[in-house]
Structure 1
Amino acid sequence: MDRITVVGGGFAGLTAAITAAEAGARVTLHEAHHTLGGRARTAEGAYKTNEGPHALYSGGPHWTWLKQRGLLQPLAPIPPRELLRMRFHHRGALHRTPPLALLRLGRHRAELAPVDQGFLSWATGLVGPAGARAAAHYAAVALFHHDPGSLSAAFVQERFRRASSLPPEAHYPRGGWGALIERMAGYAWDLGVRIETSTRVTELPATGDPLVVATSLDAARSLLRDETLTWTGGRTALVDLALTTRPGDPFAVSDLDSPGWIERFTAQDPTLAPPGQQLIQGQFPIAPHESKADGVARAERLLDTGFPQWRERTVWRRASVAANRTGAVDLPGTTWRDRPAISRGGGIYLAGDQVAAPGVLSEVSFNSAIEAVTLALTSSRLEVAR
């Protein structure tokens, strides 16, 4: 029987462990933290926050995979009435409908957008400079980057279309990502996966068994002592708020004047906060020279516009910065194929959201985990055959 070691107990690591165990391998998973989840970890306590939106896109490959294994439910879909409470901050004012340019651009297929041209330049030729800037800023909800218009047109357009699709692709695990991670961990345990938490791996195992490193690129670079394991990411200020409930609050506010997004997550999942309170998160990408305070200031300005009296209604608040933990971004002239390869040689394989695999947000982690295990098992069995 094949033996596989997985380092990292986030979404990628658990996907890899389950895939390997289902193929008959004996799997040991190591997680440095005392709980599983990685970036998909949900905070403990009264306010169940996540490191960014905890949405699953129904058009992604992991949707069917999770559903087949009974791991997808329960979900918290966006109520149709809440979609009517979507607001767009454009030219200094709130609007109920997006600019016509966004609707026009949404009809263009992502595969027809050029790889080697920036999104802003390409979209300007289709909808004009103002419409292109608004679309780039809207797409930031799935990019976490301070300058979406500078990224590859093909890369941004795929995310723009997925994020703006109707009906929405975004669905939310009830209870946050952590509830999904718990179901995946239980499923892995039932398959016989040995899960060891609070176990930080600092040296490569000497067993000779295949190793799947399902961590951030920073952690993988340190463990594998491979300085080539880098890729462009983003920095985002995250502002979490609990407000007393007020009828008429918007479901979400998209800032089309600069990258930024505020969402009321209890609109679809009231379990994320105590009764009578609304859990809201703002995500505001910040440039390399900007600080967390800069992102928080932009969040407060948008809150002033969209959530009346939010300061007086605040019962809990937290701000943080997510740096290089929000997935890969592709500059003009690059695609996912140019990111660090999954197979690193010597029986070592990478999985995570910044490696060479297609998909949007968590789909990259899923696809890379499946590919890493497939390559590991194929290589191992070829060696045995010889």
Structure 2
Amino acid sequence: MENITVVGGGLAGLVAAITCAEAGAPVHLHEAHHSLGGRARSSASPYITNEGPHVLYSDGPWWRWLAEHGLLGACAAVPLGGLAGFRFRQHGRLRRTPPAALLPVLRRRRRQAPVDVDFHTWIRDQHGPAAATAASNLVGVATFDADPGRLSAAFVWPRLLRVTAIPPAARYAIGGWSGLVDRLATRASSLGVRISTDARVTSLPTSPVIVATSLEAAGRLLGGELPPVASGRAVLLDLAVRTVPGDAFVVSDLDEAGWLERYTLPDPGLAPQGESLIQAQMPLRPGESKADGLARLETLADLALPGWRDRLTWRRDAVAHNRTGALDLPGQTWRDRPAIDRGDDVYLAGDQVAAPGLLSEVSFHSAVTAARLATGLPATEAAR
């Protein structure tokens, strides 16, 4: 087979490199950063955080692929004690149970959602405005968008079903996602993939090539802007606080689509003994500043973690802009995003291209499809 170049060493680039190498192709992967992982990198000990809330979903193809390849590593499910620690913010207060208006929405799980109607309108017409607002904001954790109800019902509905599955399908990579990145890199190296870090690519390599970068960077390499794709914009807040009884495990913000999660409950090793590590997000409204979004997010923390400022041992914050995967507006599906096959043996992979799935699953699907095309294999849906 021809030599295949992979540009980008995040999850999509690593999966693409592994898939190409398993098909017998020589592969050279280039990563501009000094370390692999992209947005899946974790911070260094003693406070090990991901770039925003990160989980794997055990009911998806990405999970199955990792399991089949022996790459899952240690993972934790939602702990039994964590279920009791779920909270919902509604009308400015925390509650232990979802509002009654939301329950009929979640019971009718087999219905099909329309592509050309926004999610809020679709739910409102069936269950009323209170249910539509609560259901829309509940899925903020999977969209990083300040108004998930504006998105296509066919886009939001399966995501809502995934994040509300009982028992929960969410799984936590013990020790942070950098461990998963390391396992992927080790697997790639064992297959003969040549990995070069601190290796920024400024012109399109000789094809076949898989470009597994942001769409903006991919457009520069391809010599022209790619079609724009809607993506989330959110402020992220990581906190370490001294642990006290009564802190919430998860708060789903039904008022403003925010989310807060205490990651040391399933994985105590993410912070020093006696401390809790919390990761939270608040989608930013159009034109809203980081400071204003952060103030709203700190208000959510006030409810979930009483007295957290006096217990604080570490914090950091950031804004995630166009780094949260594709969002499909009414009338759009994942097939309307930039195509994986760009012609002339050039392929795209990442979380904003034409592939199905939830969050990192889009990167996985696109990477496998791009690799199959680059190696001359049929682009089947076997990865689903």
Task: Name the TM-score, length of structure 2 as normaliser.
Answer: 0.96
Equivalent residues of 1:240, 1:279 under 8 A apart: yes
Q: 1:325 aligns with which of 317, 323, 326?
A: 323
Deviations 1:310-331 (A, max 9, x none): 1100111111000000000000
Partner residue of 1:365? 363
Partner residue of 1:70? 70
Equivalent residues of 2:203, 2:221 under 8 A apart: yes
Letter in 2 for 1:117: V
Deviations 1:12-64 (A, max 9, x none): 00000000000101010000000000011111231111111220011111111
Structure-to-structure mapping, 1:152-301, within 5 angstroms: 152-205=152-205, 207=206, 209-301=207-299
Tell me, what secondary structure is at the counterpart of 1:325? strand
Name the CA distance, whole Å, in 2 between partners of 1:233 and 1:138.
18
Tell me, what secondary structure is at the counterpart of 1:199? coil
Partner residue of 2:305? 307
Identical aligned pairs, as a percentage? 58
Partner residue of 2:9? 9
Equivalent residues of 1:110, 1:157 under 8 A apart: no
Structure-to-structure mapping, 1:57-206, within 5 angstroms: 57-109=57-109, 112-205=112-205
Structure 1 residues not aligned, in runs of 5+? 381-386
Name the CA distance, whole Å, in 2 between partners of 1:238 and 1:298.
11
Tell me, what secondary structure is at the counterpart of 2:225? coil
Equivalent residues of 2:20, 2:374 under 8 A apart: no
Name the CA distance, whole Å, in 2 between partners of 1:346 and 1:103.
50
Name the CA distance, whole Å, in 2 between partners of 1:367 and 1:236.
25
Equivalent residues of 1:220, 1:229 under 8 A apart: no
Please state how far the C-alpha of 1:110 moved relative to its aligned partner: 7.0
Name the CA distance, whole Å, in 2 between partners of 1:318 and 1:144.
18
Deviations 1:260-293 (A, max 9, x none): 0110011101111111111101100002300111
Indicate how the Cα distance of structure 1 residues 342 and 275 shifts in structure 2: closer, same or farther if over 3 A, else same.
same
Name the CA distance, whole Å, in 1 between partners of 2:111 and 2:14.
31
Task: Name the TM-score, length of structure 1 as normaliser.
Answer: 0.96
Equivalent residues of 1:339, 1:356 under 8 A apart: yes
Tell me, what secondary structure is at the counterpart of 2:35? coil
Q: 1:339 aligns with which of 325, 337, 340?
A: 337
Equivalent residues of 1:86, 1:253 under 8 A apart: yes
Partner residue of 2:381? none
Letter in 2 for 1:182: D
Q: 2:348 aligns with which of 347, 350, 359?
A: 350
Name the CA distance, whole Å, in 1 between partners of 2:174 and 2:228.
34
Q: Which moved further from structure 2: 230-239 or 218-227? A: 218-227
Letter in 1 for 2:17: A
Name the CA distance, whole Å, in 1 between partners of 2:113 and 2:5.
39
Equivalent residues of 1:221, 1:229 under 8 A apart: no
Partner residue of 1:384? none
Please state how far the C-alpha of 1:159 moved relative to its aligned partner: 0.8
Please state how far the C-alpha of 1:105 moved relative to its aligned partner: 1.3
Partner residue of 1:383? none
Please state how far the C-alpha of 1:131 moved relative to its aligned partner: 1.1
Letter in 2 for 1:273: A
Name the CA distance, whole Å, in 2 between partners of 1:297 and 1:303.
10
Please state how far the C-alpha of 1:155 moved relative to its aligned partner: 0.5
State the Cα RMSD in Å.
1.3
Work out the number of aligned pairs and report it.
378
